[in-house]
A and B are shown apart, each in its own frame.
Chain A
Amino acid sequence: MVGDIGAHLRKARFDAVERLAELANQHEVDAVLVAGDVFDNPFPDTKTLYSALQAMARYKGPWVLLPGNHDPGEGSDLWQRVAALADGLDLHLALEAAPLVLLHGALSILPAPLHRRHGFDDPTAWMDGVATPSAAVRVGLAHGSVREFGSSTPSPNLIAPDRATLAKLDYLALGDWHGQIRIDARSWYAGTPEPDDFPANEPGYALLVTLDGPGTPPIVEQVSTRHFLWQRLEVSNPTDAADIIAQVERAIDEAGRGDRLVLALRLHGQIDLAGRYQLMAKVNDWEARLAHLRIDDRLRDEPSEADITTLARGSGMVAATARRLVDYGNEAEARLALRHLYDLVMTVEG
């Protein structure tokens, strides 16, 4: 995402970390666990690192950060840089697959850091036989996918879906998927706190997990962290422009605040020139009102008799031109030309 909205969205992600810290304070949590992809890129700007760490600093408890596929433990000095800048933070970098004991032995974290972007061994496999203090809550922290996605090649960073059971974990905190998903009672994907795309599932949340002690089932609560609402809207075969306009307006209403709505609008079907003219005027309005509007416009401009009549008002020459364009070989070019012609006629007529 580029331009002004790109800058807003980037800032929103730091704001989400800040909200996360505030929520941690608010709920007086014992630790905040981040299951990978803290950073988008293994080579971020130092300012990015500062911004993230400053946002985290609002919560004074321990932060456990796990390298994910976007910020793996090797191939860059990212985590060394983070460590060097984390002055004043109770920061724990889970760079090795070895138990991490916190809270004076009450919490044993078994991290499964990714050393490379893609690995083909289950990074959580090592957790099964690892002993932790019997009084400590045993929590796995991993980044990867728990299921294959039908690819002919094996999916990287694949995690056994029953890892929590196999490794006798009280809870398995998973990262990688942007949406929030429950795998089982002890295994959850929290999702990204601030979405940056249009996922099918629900992003923009964190999970508040309560573990009363070893062996007790976790209590998992969803807390919202997002600022922007990312939403897809597909309009197929609209009856007319009004139909499209109505559906979009409804989506905006449902979002509550248009200025926080990032809308991906996909249009199928056909539309006459008058409808197109009407729609384009409305698009300008939406672009002003919404945080961002992305249109995948696959509507086919199909002049109606009424359109031709309107064009003929301009003159017989204009109507004849429109008829020529309708029959023109390069349809996409001709339809765009027709759109211009209609717009010109409407402009000239005032």
Chain B
Amino acid sequence: MRLKRILLTNVRRHQPGLLIDDLAPGLNLIGAHNEEGKSSLLMALRCALFLSHGTTGQLRERLVPYGSNAAPEIELDFELGDELVQLAKSFKKDGMRLAIGEQTWRNAEAEAELERRLRFSRPGRAPKELTLDHLGMTGLFWVEQGKSFEAVLPTEDGQRRLGDLLAAEIGSVAGGEDADKILDAAKIRFERYWTAQGRVRTTGPLADAEHRLNEEQAELAELNTQLAALKTAFEDLAKLRAESQRVIEDDEAGRLQAKLAAAQVKAEQLEQLRQQWALKQQALVMAEKSRIDAVSQRQQRLSSLEEVQSLSVDLERFRSNRAELMQAVSLADKERDRLTQLAATAIDQATNASQLLEAVERQREHDEIGQRLSVERERHAVLTKLSDQIADLQRTISANSVTDTVLAELKKADRECRDASIALSAAATRLEFKPENPGTIWIDGRAHDPAEPVDLSQPSDVKLLGFGEIRVVPGGDEVRTGRARLAEADAAYARLLKSADITNLDEAEARARARRDEAIELKRLIAERTRLTGSTSVDEISRTILELESALAKAATLEPIADKRDRSQLRAVAVEAAAKVNDAQAALRAAEKAYDEARQKAAIDAALLAERETRRADLVARLENDRALVGDDELRRAEQAAIVRERDLRQELAGFDATLKADDPAMLAAEIAMHRKAVEDLAKEAQTRRDRSRDLEITIKLEGGKGLGERRDAAAGRAEAAAREVDTLKRDAAALKLLVETLRAEQRELRDRFTGPVRERLSPLLRQLLPDAVPVVDAVNVTLGSIERHGQTEALDDLSVGTREQLAVLVRLAFADLLIEHEGEAPPIILDDALVFADEDRFDRMKLLLQAAAARHQIIILSCRPRDYRGIQAKVYDLASCRTA
């Protein structure tokens, strides 16, 4: 559909009329200021096509100019397919006329034909507002002012028509209301078991059944445990009773008692035997003691006799040794005296040698003191002389005041005098004479060679022969300063000479040189003195001399020595004498020791002799006494009798031992203990069985009446039923999950196929605007639902108003493309003050997109800012210029 011509008469602001003719099939720009009637123009177009001419309601009133009763009239020429449609509608009775080619329709027929051609349904009653529901698909493309950013939501009719288009394109109908209901109903069943995220629900029939199953299984396990315990109790009780019966039947107690009694009888017999054995054992001990006593007595007597004999032999030997021992003592005494004499002689000789050596040593010491005194005296003299020289030289140096410093100052003053003199000469007045005739020149009364120029720094009188005198007064600051400097330098120089007591610089240098030489000599003398004295002072040397002189004076009183042997010879003699003394004294000590030993041995020997004599006398006396009591034969007979008695008893005991060894008492005691314990254990076991049986009977009585078997069977049945229920519900849950997932997958796939065509048209347009965005088309509303950028879905409401407005225009372009492709026709796209929220870049891009789309669609832009569209290839209208006279 392409609008060609619009003529409005008596329509709102457009009074008397408005004519827009020759609209371009592509892009048209209609500029108008605010309140100039852009929106009225759009409303007039809507009313012309979709509002019946007979309408009398408020919609018609909104078309009527202010303060007028005239019927609004609208004429439209537009192309629909290859045909030109001419519509003339006046909102009054019989006001409708429609002409297509040669055919003309009027009023209701015309309205019906228009409905048919534009594929919309006019409501039965006049609406209060013309909404999208009244405008068919066309309304989708005509955007009112201020609504351009709203999402493009096709009406049901529009959705159906788009859906038909898409279905025609994909060849099938995908979803439908029933499918949604089925999916919803499946989800309700699904959500009995699963959360919306597909996780197992913790509540609901399956969870309840699993809970019941767990409870039943727990109860079953508990009952099984209790029942097993009860069965075990019965089994244990039966075993205990069987064991008790067996014990009784086997007469275990009787057999054990018999064994114990037999062992006890045997033990009593053995005990009697053991007591007899003990009595014999005591008799043996006594016989043994008697035998030992008898043997001992006889042995003692024999021993006494032997000792008397031995003592007699010893006494004889001691007496024969006695003389030898006394002789040895005498010889030792004599030897001791001899050696005492020899030692005294040796000591005298050694004393003499020692005294002689001492005298020689004192003489040697005297000589050494004399020599040392001489040396010290000589050193003292040299040092005294050196000290005098040093003192003289120090005085000389002190008297010479021209030090190197003074000399340097003098030289500096001399240089200053010369520099001042040169400076003065430079500033002086130079007189150069060129006499015409040889003659004499006098300056300050002194003749001056005329060939020599003269510098005058002082006022001078110059007398020229033949001319007379000339008073020359050198002037200027330089001469005055030079003179003062020279005077000051000369005065300083003179002061220095005077203070040093010299007349000139040469003398100063000579004296300074002499002072340096003297200082060197002084240093040398001091070093020499230091070398000679070391750390000792002259005073100390003097004291040493006095001490040596005193020692020498003492030594001078020695006697002269007659012996002429030297010191070493005398020392060897003394040493030899001392050695002899030592040897003599050692021999003397040995002789004294031998004497002492001999004397001691003799004393011991005498004591032993006396002891043995006493012992022998005692023994002899005692023997005689004993023999008087018991004779030797009687002793021998008693001993023999005791031996026989002991032997007999031993033989008897050997017989007892054989009997006792046959029956080990320890083994017999162990046997009795074992049998006794067996009897006790049997009794204890019987008691334990009785106790245990009683406990088990109580347990059985308590537990047996609870009907554990029945309850277990019932619980097993319930657990089995609960398990079946869980299994059934799990299978149901799995099946429902599979069903819902399959339904969803199918729905997704079909919707993808269904919305694909819209997405295909929209994607290239969207890329021009938002390069990273992918359109997500809502299959229910058949429109752009959201966009995806970088994997994130962004709802339209989350986008800026400007972006939403631009996307809304693109969706309309895409829908228009779809209509053109499938139906060959699309309504013109009319935008009333759209894109007002776009930034400059986006606006430029949208202009390009609109311009490109204008090659396929008629686009009419109503704008209060037509200058914003400069550069765009459009047919431009100024609404004010389109007013009719």
Are B739 and A321 in contact, with the CB atoms below 8 A?
Answer: yes
Q: Is the CB of A281 closer than 8 A to any CB of chain B?
A: no
For residue A324, CB closer than 8 A to chain B, the reply is: yes
Main secondary structure of the interface of B (DSSP, over half): helix
| Chain A, range 310-350, C-beta contacts under 8 Å to B | 313-318, 320-321, 324-325, 328, 330, 332-334, 336-337, 339-341, 344-345, 347-349
Given A2-B717, A44-B709, A324-B746: A340 and B736 interface contact (C-beta under 8 Å): yes
Q: Are A324 and B234 in contact (CB under 8 A)?
A: no
- Cβ-based interface call for B235 (8 A): yes
Binds A, one of B435-443, B700-708, B802-810: B700-708
Which residues from 160 to 176 on chain A have a C-beta closer than 8 Å to any C-beta of chain B? none
Complex contacts, A345 vs chain B, CB 8 Å: 178, 182
B731's partner among A1, A313, A333, A344 (CB-CB below 8 A) is A333
Check if A316 sits within 8 Å of B172, measured CB to CB.
Answer: yes
Give complex CA distance A2, B716 in Å: 10
When distances are taken between beta carbons in the complex, the residues of chain A under 8 Å from B173 are 315-316
Report which of B179, B186, B705 forms a contact with A315, defined as CB distance below 8 A: B179
Given A337-B736, A348-B178: A321 in contact with B710 (beta carbons within 8 A): no
Q: Using Cβ atoms and an 8 Å threshold, which residues of chain A touch B739?
A: 321, 325, 337, 340-341
In the complex, chain B residues whose CB is within 8 Å of the CB of A325: 738-739, 742
Indicate whether A199 reaches chain B with its CB closer than 8 angstroms.
no
If the complex has contacts A45-B706, A316-B750, A321-B739, are A40 and B713 also in contact, measured as CB distance less than 8 A?
yes
Contact partner of A317 among B175, B189, B717, CB < 8 A? B175
In angstroms, Cα B732 to Cα A341, docked, is 12
Binds B, one of A14-22, A71-79, A102-110, A146-154: A71-79
Chain B residues contacting A25 (CB-CB under 8 Å) are: none
A43 at the interface (CB under 8 A from B): yes
Cβ of B714 under 8 Å from chain A: yes
Residues of chain B within 8 A of A74, CB atoms compared: 234, 238
Name the A residues within 8 Å of B717 (CB-CB): 1-2, 6
Known contacts A315-B175, A336-B731; is A42 also within 8 Å of B709 by CB? yes
Instruction: Decide if B746 touches A43 in the complex (CB within 8 Å).
Output: no
Asked if residues B750 and A320 are in contact (CB atoms below 8 Å), the reply is yes
Using Cβ atoms and an 8 Å threshold, which residues of chain A touch B718? 2
Query: Given A2-B718, A81-B704, do A317 and B743 touch, yes or no (CB 8 Å)?
Result: yes
Check if B747 is an interface residue, CB within 8 A of chain A: yes
- A47 part of interface (Cβ distance < 8 Å): yes
Asked whether any CB of chain A lies closer than 8 Å to the CB of B176, the reply is yes
Chain A nearest CB from B744 CB (Å) reads 9
Q: How far is the CB of B369 from chain A (nearest CB, A)?
A: 139
Q: In this assembly, does A46 line the interface, its C-beta being within 8 Å of a C-beta of chain B?
A: yes
Which residues does chain B contribute within 8 Å of A321, judged by CB atoms?
739, 742-743, 746
Number of residues in B with C-beta < 8 Å to the partner? 48
State whether B174 touches A317 (Cβ < 8 A). yes
CB distance from B170 to the nearest CB of A (A): 11
Decide yes or no whether B575 CB sits under 8 A from chain A.
Answer: no
Q: Of residues 710 to 731 in B, which have CB atoms within 8 Å of A's CB atoms?
A: 710-714, 717-718, 721, 731
| Chain A residues whose C-beta falls within 8 Å of the C-beta of B745 in the assembled complex | 324
Q: Which of A1, A45, A313, A324 contacts B710 (CB 8 A)?
A: A45
Find chain A residues with CB under 8 A from B706 CB.
43, 45
Say yes or no: is B734 at the interface (Cβ < 8 Å to chain A).
yes
> Which residues of B sit under 8 angstroms from A6, Cβ to Cβ?
714, 717
Q: Which residues of A contact B707 (CB under 8 A)?
A: 43-48
Which residue of B174, B230, B714, B738 is within 8 Å of A328 (Cβ)? B738
Q: Which residue of A lies closest to B167 (CB)?
A: A316
Q: Does B553 contact A (CB under 8 A)?
A: no
A122 to B224, CA, bound (A): 31
Indicate if A41 sits at the interface (CB-CB under 8 A). yes
Bound-state CA distance A76–B696 (Å) is 12
Q: How far, in whole Å, are A1 and B718 apart by their CA atoms in the complex?
A: 8
How distant is A316 from chain B, measured CB to nearest CB, in Å? 5
List which B163-211 residues lie within 8 A (CB) of chain A: 172-176, 178-179, 181-182, 185-186, 189
Complex formed: what's the CA distance from A321 to B744 in Å? 9
In the complex, A318 Cα to B180 Cα: how many Å? 10
Asked whether B231 is an interface residue with its Cβ less than 8 Å from the other chain, the reply is yes
Q: Give the residues in chain B near A316, CB-CB below 8 Å.
A: 172-176, 179, 750
CA distance A339 to B739 in the complex (A): 10
CB interface residues, B 833-871, toward A, < 8 Å:
none
User: Contacts of B189 on A, CB cut-off 8 Å?
Assistant: 340, 344
5 closest Cβ contacts across the A-B interface?
Answer: A45-B707, A43-B709, A41-B709, A315-B179, A336-B735
- 12 A–B contacts from the bound complex (CB under 8 Å): A40-B709, A40-B710, A74-B234, A75-B235, A316-B179, A317-B174, A324-B746, A328-B742, A330-B734, A333-B735, A340-B186, A345-B182
Identify the B interface with A (CB < 8 A): 172-176, 178-179, 181-182, 185-186, 189, 227, 230-231, 234-235, 238, 700-701, 704-714, 717-718, 721, 731-732, 734-736, 738-739, 742-743, 745-747, 749-750
Q: A45-B707, A46-B705, A337-B735 are in contact. List 9 more A-B contacts (CB 8 A).
A: A40-B709, A41-B713, A74-B238, A315-B182, A316-B172, A320-B750, A325-B738, A344-B189, A347-B185
List chain A positions with a Cβ less than 8 A from chain B.
Answer: 1-3, 6, 40-48, 74-77, 81, 313-318, 320-321, 324-325, 328, 330, 332-334, 336-337, 339-341, 344-345, 347-349
